[in-house]
Chain A
Amino acid sequence: MCEKENVPCYCGLRRFEKVCRILDKHGHSPSKLVPILQEVQQGYRYLPEQVQSFIATSLGLSPARVFGVASFYTNFALEPKGKYVIHVCDGTACHVKGSERIKDALYKQLGLTEKKTTTSDMLFTVETVSCLGACGLAPVMTINEEVHGQVTPDRAVELVNGIRERGQAE
């Protein structure tokens, strides 16, 4: 199916096996759609369209229903994300302490914009989130699950440069 549509294939039989296992675990219950999508996304790092259709069919739902849920929640990604997902917190506390400058510095350093949030080499994705709940340390950013508090624009740039250098050294 994928070959016909001329899109890169993410759904080799093995991958689908994994999706099937997740579906089995949740008893093919449509009410578990959100946890199912969450677990599937952990494997793919996003929700490829074919996988969404596959899930819809196996749960007896319309693909539109699954897409509707996938597109509603911000934690579901419809596009592949970079290896390092950077969340710049733009909650109130971080905002008043200058989180915008951190985002701008990262955008500039990585050549990103509001529209293009992932670097071409698929290493970084930069997103803003509304609150990470670490307001006592504002401004805050996370790189994958690692929390960094009281970040300055320079420090943010330093962190991404560090990751890049480590990657090249490996």
Chain B
Amino acid sequence: MIQQKIDMEATGQAYWQARQAVRRRVIVCAGTGCVANGSLKVHEALRDEIAARGLDVVVKLSDDCGGDVLLSKSGCQGFCQAGPLVTIEPEDWLYVHVKPEDVADIVEGTLIHSRPVKRLAYVDPATGQPFEQTHEIPFYKRQQRLVLGECGNIDPEDFEEYIARGGYAAARRALKEMRPEQVCEEILASGLRGRGGGGFPTGRKWALTLPEPADKKYVICNGDEGDPGAFMDRSLMEGNPHRVLEGIMIAARAIGADEACAYVRAEYPLAVRRIRKAVADAEEAGILGQDVFESGLNMTCQVMEGAGAFVCGEETALMASIEGLRGMPRPKPPFPAQSGLWGKPTVINNVETLATVPLIIAQGSHNYRQLGTEGSPGTKTFAVTGHVANTGLIEVPFGTTLREIIFDIGGGVIDNLGRPMPDGFKAVQIGGPSGGCLTAEHLDMPLDFDSVKKIGAMVGSGGLVVMNRDMCMVKIAHFFMRFTQNESCGKCVPCREGTKQMLVLLEKIMDGNATPETLELLEQLASAVQLGSLCGLGKTAPNPVLSTLRYFRSEYEAHIVQKRCPAGQCKALATPEILADRCKGCGACLRKCPVNAISGRKKMPHRIDVNTCIRCGTCAQVCRFDAIVGVK
């Protein structure tokens, strides 16, 4: 079969010509966050309103279209907190929290009269200052969006746009002009380290696989992003799937593979669809298939949907899953570089790593090293979530401090009701359930792979969950332990039984049944699980317990010795109390209490009967005066 080959230069030129014929572009964020907030309805309303006002609207550029407005959907723009987001190009105006009702104003003001709609601009909650343009907003201003950059301003389903922006040029260069050794060397020289968790140098991984003699080799893109609290891989696959695919192709070139597999988590249906479409479009254009870029090389990529198992993020487990088995890890060596999928040499890279690769090939390793630190060059995406004003997905150079991320970009810590809490910072969990917590003393430490590892945590995939001082750290440790215990595949005893027993010990502490010996036992067990487990899941499972013990030991001791939960989150040890000087006697808690444990006359301080109270925390939630303490 002779495939139709795409002429990339001609496609790019045609695209830009068509783009210039269009006066303005309106981009509606269609990442998962904005969609959940109703951005698709905004998109529909915009399309209808633009047409109703007699403007020409196009949703897909073609040679002869022209028109007033190009209306596009993009992947995640990162600023999920402010969604649904609408961006106007070329002015770079950003509208936040856009509702279908706002559409008339956007069309009238911006598209017809070329004025920004002031009331839809982002307003800094701390200073009250409005910002019209995207790049002025503090959330974006302090970022360096290299890998995420295009997510959010290109249409992920528009193959031609990706080509027009120089896409697949790096893959073509790698396939036609570079030898596999050169590709490996370039990536090695860039110092790129795996973004999935371990931080192993990507170039070295490739260079180890390249010389393996085999008739077949595989590249696997690990899109089984399981860390709760991290969603950069999802955003990349949804927002810029061709970039990921281009990275896969370069990796395949580097090790001499002609077959690749993208393994995508089943919980991400949109990412699965987008990657599938990207592969289909690339096949149609002859970018995948036979004799790619007239290099004489063949390349195929299949997409596989995961079936829901956190452990499949581990490379040997992931390969077992592709082979149709239970996703259980196996001992290493042999490493996948020698014997991976179907016993053949295999390279497994994380989505973000692969999305970074085309960038390095395009701009050269020297330029890539300009950002970041010596040991961790480049930028890293972080998913900033939890008790922070601006939640979302960010990208900063390695070496940025936690303070810059949480306070400058993230806009500071908030309380449970979303109000600013200037002195509320307690800890941040980095690296998900395999990571650890960082505290106030680490706020000014430059973040990179090595500095974080040194203090007993890990960068992991880059989840940063900010916690305010109302969080109980024992409960958080228990939360992670429950997660890893649940996800333990059960193959090796230390992980299967160890995590279970650790969970039991933590429950004892939370229930007030622990003695000082419990802590000792917990620590012993943690180190046994760390040493004895087969794979990364078990080896890192005790990290959250060990790191909370290291920094918040006094909280554990309060649970054990004083039988008190300082944050009031552990139900059995909560000591609910109504502060008489704050209580206004409004009766809100009294009415909501399910067991009538609260009494008091109107406008007089109320009281709570601790014997009747079931510690449900409803009263603390409804109180507008923060008068109820010791229970959450």
Which A residues fall within an 8 A CB radius of B?
A: 29-35, 37-38, 68-69, 72-76, 90-98, 129-138, 140, 145, 147-149
Contact = CB atoms under 8 A, between A and B. Distances in A.
The 10 A-B pairs at the shortest CB distance, nearest first, are namely: A136-B80, A91-B228, A73-B307, A93-B385, A131-B228, A75-B308, A33-B324, A147-B36, A74-B308, A92-B229
A135 B309 contact: no
A80 B416 CA distance: 37
A136 B392 contact: yes
Interface in B398-419: 416
Interface string B299-322: 000001111111000000000011
B37 A149 contact: yes
B269 A145 contact: yes
Contact of B309 (A35, A72, A140): A72
B525 interface: no
Contacts of A98: 416
Nearest to A31: B324
B228 A148 contact: no
Which among B230, B465, B487, B489 has the greatest number of chain A C-beta atoms within 10 A? B465
Contacts of B2: none
B324 A75 contact: no
B393 interface: yes
A135 B383 contact: yes
Contact of A149 (B33, B323, B327): B33
Given A96-B467, A129-B267, A134-B36, A69 B80 contact: no
B268 A137 contact: no
A12 B529 CA distance: 49
A58 B35 CA distance: 41
B432 interface: yes
Contacts of A37: 307
Which among B33, B36, B416 has the greatest number of chain A C-beta atoms within 10 A? B36
Interface in B224-262: 225-231, 234
B387 interface: yes
A133 B326 contact: no
B225 A96 contact: no
B35 A93 contact: no
Given A38-B307, A92-B479, A134 B32 contact: yes
B385 A95 contact: no
A137 B479 contact: no
Contacts of B465: 92-93, 96, 135
A131 B267 contact: yes
Given A31-B324, A93-B465, 15 more contacts: A29-B324, A35-B305, A76-B308, A92-B228, A93-B385, A129-B267, A130-B487, A133-B32, A135-B229, A135-B465, A136-B33, A137-B33, A137-B391, A138-B385, A145-B269
A138 B391 contact: yes
Interface string B131-164: 0000000000000000000000000000000000
A37 B432 CA distance: 30
Interface footprint category on B: 35 or more
Interface of B: 32-33, 35-37, 80-81, 83, 225-231, 234, 265-269, 304-310, 321-327, 383, 385-387, 391-393, 416, 429, 432-433, 463, 465, 467, 471, 476, 479-480, 483, 486-487, 489
Contacts of B432: 92
Contact of A130 (B81, B305, B310): B310
A30 to B, nearest CB: 6
B386 A97 contact: yes
A35 B479 CA distance: 31
A133 B36 contact: no
8 contacts: A31-B324, A35-B304, A94-B228, A95-B228, A129-B267, A130-B226, A130-B486, A131-B226
B317 to A, nearest CB: 10
Given A38-B305, A38-B307, A92-B228, A136 B324 contact: no
B385 A135 contact: yes
B13 to A, nearest CB: 37
B325 A69 contact: yes
Contact of A69 (B33, B304, B326, B486): B326
A25 B239 CA distance: 30
Contacts of A95: 228, 479
Contact of A92 (B35, B225, B306, B386): B386
A102 to B, nearest CB: 13
A92 B463 contact: yes
B81 A136 contact: yes
A72 B327 contact: yes
A35 B392 CA distance: 32
Contacts of B269: 145
A96 B324 contact: no
B9 to A, nearest CB: 37
A124 to B, nearest CB: 19
A68 B36 contact: no
Contact of A133 (B225, B387, B483, B489): B225
Nearest to A138: B385
Nearest to A93: B385
Contacts of A94: 228
Contacts of A34: 304, 307, 321, 324
B327 A73 contact: yes
B326 A135 contact: no
B36 A137 contact: yes
B236 to A, nearest CB: 11
Nearest to B309: A73
B391 A93 contact: yes
A96 B37 contact: no
A134 to B, nearest CB: 5
A169 B304 CA distance: 40
A130 B483 contact: yes
A147 to B, nearest CB: 4
A37 to B, nearest CB: 8
Contacts of B480: 92
A29 B36 CA distance: 38
Nearest to B467: A96
A107 B80 CA distance: 29
A74 B309 contact: yes
A133 B324 contact: no
Which among A68, A131, A147 has the greatest number of chain B C-beta atoms within 10 A? A131
Contacts of A73: 306-309, 327
